[in-house]
Structure 1
Amino acid sequence: MPFCPQCGVSNPDSARFCDQCGAQLIPVPARAPTPAPSAKPAATTLSGPVSAGATSCPQCGSGVIPGEAFCDNCGAPLFHAPPVAAAPAPDLPFPGAPPQPVYPPPQPATIQPVAAPASPPTPPPVASPVPPPSPARSSLAGVRLRLADGTVLPLPAAAQALIGRADPVSNFYPDIDLTPHGGLERGVGRRHGRFFVQQGQVYYEDLDSTNGSFIGGRKLPPRQPQPVRPGEELRLGTLSLIVELQ
């Protein structure tokens, strides 16, 4: 029983090619030739695998054992793998053709948002200047009385001051003497009234005068102090005075 020199598988004595791999076996003593058949079938090319139950070689027509992979007489394969479809060849440029440029895929256009024009900032409202508060008054300094003829009589820098007419008989002299300015003829009393400062405000008080005191044409009740504002008219009897505060 010959052995295959390539895969080592034992084969029948009459085999010239290995049943396992199809390699040519080691020569054996020649046997009596078998008369060849009168008509040898032509070789047939199979398009598919030979059935595992085939009993003759499709190449030489010799009988084969079912299940063998190669013919013992001619070594032809008894099983044919199905043809493998060739992959289509890629499209290649003709020899000598210039290389084709490779363009990147188009990118989607990006639309940048357009910012709305910024409105000019609104200027802050300009506050009207507020005059600084006048310092709290502690005396009558800066208070003046203006007569109709333009004469100005300043009050003393004291907390209070009496206004009226001088009386040499009783030796009484007020702080503001209106005798030289027609005080007797116009009904000004000797102790007609007084000016004083309270909590930084200038007040005038009528001291029970006979002919009365008036501010802005309104008669003042006696012994009830009234605040005096700059520019107001103070009338004693019929003598008119304009109060000026500084």
Structure 2
Amino acid sequence: MPFCPQCGVANPDSARFCDQCGAQLIPVPSKPASPSVQPVTPAGQVTGAPVSAGPSSCPQCGAGVIPGEAFCDNCGAPLLNYSRTAPPVAPDLPFPGAPPQPVYPPPQPATIQGGKPTPVPPPKPSIPPTAPVTPSPPVAPPIRNSLAGIRLRLRSGAVLTLPAATQAFIGRADPVSNFYPDIDLTAYGGLEHGVGRRHGRFIIQQGLVYYEDLDSTNGSFRNGIKLPPRQPQPLQHGDELRLGKLSLVIEIP
């Protein structure tokens, strides 16, 4: 009785194809078996269970078949309307002596968020580090040795130029005391705006331009801040200098 080389099921001596899986059988010399012992498959299943009668001829090629066979011995076609009482042998069981089959891991499902596959983000391009920006040092005002070129711009549009000297007085002329300042604001509303006769002076100290209030009655203001009297204060280009209520803009080239 030959055994199937694929599933290991015993078949009749005259069978050419396996009754269990349909594989072609390799003819082997039959050996007499004991009537009281039924052949056992490698999986431990008894194959001597009765089977129901099948067709007497192959429905595909018409050749005569042995009752109870599941496949035609002539063409290997499966025979209809047959059943077995013995449980089928698992098709993945190897026949005796077969090499072990490799085991592969099951495929991993893709991560899905919100019903859509999560795309793999592309690698971010490397950005070369930039050199730190060094702040440029502040530009120091030019060192001066004279008031020449410095201008005073009034709101009326008039422009007054300081003399080429290291100091210059600003105020109103007084013929009674015979005092005439270097910058006379009488013609520009000095009296009406509260400018004093000796209101203040411009001086050069350590190469920079300073203004000193000479203890005037109505005071001097730089950018809206009142200046203390008899204390020279540095000036910069664009500063607003107010004498009483008369405003001047300092223009230092």
TM-score normalized by structure 2?
Answer: 0.46
Larger Rg, first or second structure (1 or 2): 1
